[in-house]
């Protein structure tokens, strides 16, 4: 069994999280520049077995597709070309940034560290992946 990998896709950088090989626990992996995402994922999947990639799907409060999908779709399309053997699914990412900030505060992270958007992106990817794992249990 391989890992699941989640991406919190952004214009400048992407947060990345992965599960353990039993697909039970999600942990933040890193943050990479969006321009390097496809090559990073290709390198990672060459070293580690990944069964599925979960990408955050941004929606508005009313559940409509967010404007961000304008740049996410082409980026994920490029990723699919680089690693066509790994399925990619979208998962709701509403409020993940808010939840990430709350987790940082609850975890006692200092204010200066909470301003680091790369950390927020990585935590957001972890939340997306945890939500995916939880929802998968009930299907």
CATH fourth-level superfamily of 3-137: YqgF/RNase H-like domain (3.30.420.140)
CA distance 2 to 20: 8
Q: Which residue has the higher pLDDT, 102 or 139?
A: 102
Q: For the chain, what are the domain ranges? A: 3-137
pLDDT tens track for 46-80: 999 999 999 999 887 787 888 889 999 999 999 99
Q: Which residue has the higher pLDDT, 12 or 110?
A: 12
Question: Residue 92: what pLDDT?
Answer: 81
Question: Distances from the Cα of 26 to the Cαs of 19, 20, 65, 74, 81, in angstroms?
Answer: 4, 7, 26, 26, 26
pLDDT tens track for 102-128: 665 666 666 676 566 778 888 889 999
Which residues are CB-contacts of 83 (< 8 A; sequence separation ≥ 6)? 38, 41, 42, 45, 53
Question: Residue 113: what pLDDT?
Answer: 61
pTM for the whole thing? 0.86
Q: Check pLDDT > 70 for residue 16.
A: yes
């Amino acid at each position: 069994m391989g890992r699941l990998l989640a991406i919190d896709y952004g214009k400048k950088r992407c947060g990345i999280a992965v599960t353990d090989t039993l697909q039970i626990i999600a942990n933040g992996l890193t943050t990479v520049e969006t321009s390097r995402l496809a090559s990073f994922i290709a390198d990672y999947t060459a070293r580690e077995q990944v069964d599925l990639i979960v990408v955050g799907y941004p929606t508005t409060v009313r559940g409509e597709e967010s404007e961000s999908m304008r740049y996410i779709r082409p980026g994920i399309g490029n990723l699919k070309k680089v690693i066509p053997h790994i399925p990619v699914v979208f998962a709701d990412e509403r409020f993940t940034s808010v939840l990430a900030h709350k987790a940082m505060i609850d975890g006692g992270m200092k204010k200066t560290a909470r301003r680091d958007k790369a950390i927020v992106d990585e935590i957001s990817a972890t939340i997306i992946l945890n939500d995916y794992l939880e929802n998968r249990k009930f299907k």
